[in-house]
Amino acid sequence: MRCEALGLALIASVLVVSCSRKDRGTQRVAIPPFENLATPELNWMSHGFAEAVRLQLAGSPHIEPVPISALRDAPAVGASQVLEGRFSLRGGRLHVEAVLEDAVRVRDLGTIRASGPVGELLPLAQVIARGIDPGARPLPTSNPQAFEAYIAAIRATDPAAADAGFDRAVGADPEFGVAYLAWTQSLTARGEGARAARVLAAAREKAAGFQAIERARLDLAGSVLAGDRAGERRALIALMGADPADASVYRRLSDLDAAAHSYRDAAAFCQRAFEREPAEVLLLNQLGYQRAWAGDLDGALEALERYRSQRPAEANPIDSRGDVYYWFGRFAEAEQAYREAYAKDTSFEGGAEPYKIAWTRLMQGDLKGADASFAEFLQARKSAGDSLVEYRQAQWEHLTGRHQDAFARLERFASSARLAEASLSYAQLAVWLVEAGDGQRARDYAAKASAPLPVVLLVRFLTQPPTTAAEWSARAASAFPAPAQAGFRGLALAYALLLSHDFAAAVGPLQQICDATEPSSPDWPAVPLAWALIETGKVDRVPPLLSGNRAPNPAAESPLQSLIFPRALYVHAAVAARQGRRDEAQADLKLFSRYGG
């Protein structure tokens, strides 16, 4: 590159920007295409300048550059700063000017200017980047033909044109790692995994000449393509060192560790993501739950209080505080939080707070108060036109020990309901019967559920005559053979074994589902797994994570809910007794007996 003539411009630019802004931590700098005030033939430079600056700022410890398609998109990406650039021709020379703006206070932080021959986009972009950060890394390519072909490729809407552009880019500069990675991403997005793998293989042969960021991203792309989560995590850790300001790296690490139930590590990465994206306040909500699942009540409440302070008009941070208290069995505090959230916004989550309040009263042994709150919830659902009000009422009656009333109510409702509602009701009746040991009647009711709903298919599977664990496994493979049905297949097998009281065989499938889902998921079978462990004499293997109380969620009700409650009280009692908390164990057993019918 011929950058020597730009030395004075570079020095002046650095002084302008660095002296006019204070270090406020990580800055998210949104970079829209530069405005073309020159000629239409140079339109490609609009994206070229923006992308060249972005690539150089990637890796800065305190700057996260974010490309946007237009200035109006800056708020949507949570930008703290915006770089507005323009270029023009004067006397046959290319002049570029960029203004760094504070997106929050709406004021200029400095202006960077440079000029040079028309073909010198790359060195001029270097001036802009180093005017923002004197330590900006070198461009991943110094070849102008390779860079122009790369810009043409990432702007192309036609796949063939994109492929041709990427091919020209890596042909002109075989060590242009960014082009290889963008090509891989383009092919992957189109579903061309085999071609993406070949491009990655070609990139690996040249990786020694890549910069650290591109090497880490190359490993990351390969791991994702191969479905190798352990490799993905290693690549993200390497990328975290090479590009420490990239919040998406910490977000993904948090997600991976959460998926592995390593919630303490997940929370630590979530905290670091928030430090880099302070405008993303929902990260505080995520942080609160992860800390709770890690057993850190105080830390969870601290995160949610920060969330509430930034969104004082919203009900969600208060509702989440209730969920955290509920998880730890602090039902009185959970009730107070849910009531506060409901007072803040009666429409939040479709009016779910009375439902949650009902559960807190139930867990405190106040059935009368629980019924009153549940009735308030049902009235709101009725006013909203919910066609399942009677179904919900029957479920509630069954969960609270009034089995005969529940069965009679649901039979009446099923006989007059529309197909979908009737099928759901017959499926629920079938589950109750198979739990009660009446397999033949259960199969009769399952046959009446004629709508092809997933839960109906599951119940029909569960009500088949009991058999061996091996035969149940073969049945599940036959009933749900598609690869996309793997999760459903595992769920069906686990619950079939559980309902057959083959607890030893049920542990493995239940553990696999628990390992693959979070405690907030309606499919998280913590209670059934803990139940199976207890019944096989392994109460000491019930980890603390399985002893928490998943917050009630009216949107997650299913016919299998009766396998969760009141059985959860039995599980908690067994764990409490094992740990020497006899009073707590006796209280839970008393409630279990009361609500168990």
* pLDDT tops 50 at residue 23: no
pLDDT band at 15; cut points 50, 70, 90 = very low
Of the chain, the end-to-end C-alpha distance in Å amounts to 81
DSSP 13-57: HHHHHHHH----SSEEEEEPPPEE-S-GGGTHHHHHHHHHHHHHH
- pTM of this structure: 0.87
Q: Name residue 455's amino acid.
A: V
Q: What is the mean pLDDT of residues 415-420?
A: 94
Confidence at residue 137, expressed as pLDDT on a 0 to 100 scale: 95
Confidence at residue 542, expressed as pLDDT on a 0 to 100 scale: 86
Confidence at residue 108, expressed as pLDDT on a 0 to 100 scale: 81
Tell me the pLDDT tens digit for each residue of 358-369: 999 999 999 999
Q: What is the mean pLDDT of residues 165-185?
A: 96
Q: Are the C-beta atoms of residues 113 and 100 closer than 8 Å to each other?
A: no
* pLDDT tops 80 at residue 178: yes
Q: Are the C-beta atoms of residues 47 and 155 closer than 8 Å to each other?
A: yes
Confidence at residue 524, expressed as pLDDT on a 0 to 100 scale: 83
Tell me the pLDDT tens digit for each residue of 26-67: 899 999 999 999 999 999 999 999 999 999 999 999 999 999
Q: Which of 280, 250, 245, 5 is nearest to 132 (CA)?
A: 245
DSSP state of 379: H
Tell me the pLDDT tens digit for each residue of 326-364: 999 999 999 999 999 999 999 999 899 999 999 999 999
Please give the Cα distance from 584 to 572 (Å, whole number): 9
Tell me the pLDDT tens digit for each residue of 365-386: 999 999 999 999 999 999 999 9
Angle, helices 486-499/469-479, rounded to nearest 10 degrees:
150
Residue with token string 């023009």? 88
Q: What is the mean pLDDT of residues 543-551?
A: 82
Q: What is the mean pLDDT of residues 511-538?
A: 89
Helix, strand and coil in the chain, % to nearest 5: 65, 5, 25
In this structure, the chain runs to a length of 597
Please give the Cα distance from 430 to 440 (Å, whole number): 9
Q: What is the mean pLDDT of residues 235-240?
A: 95
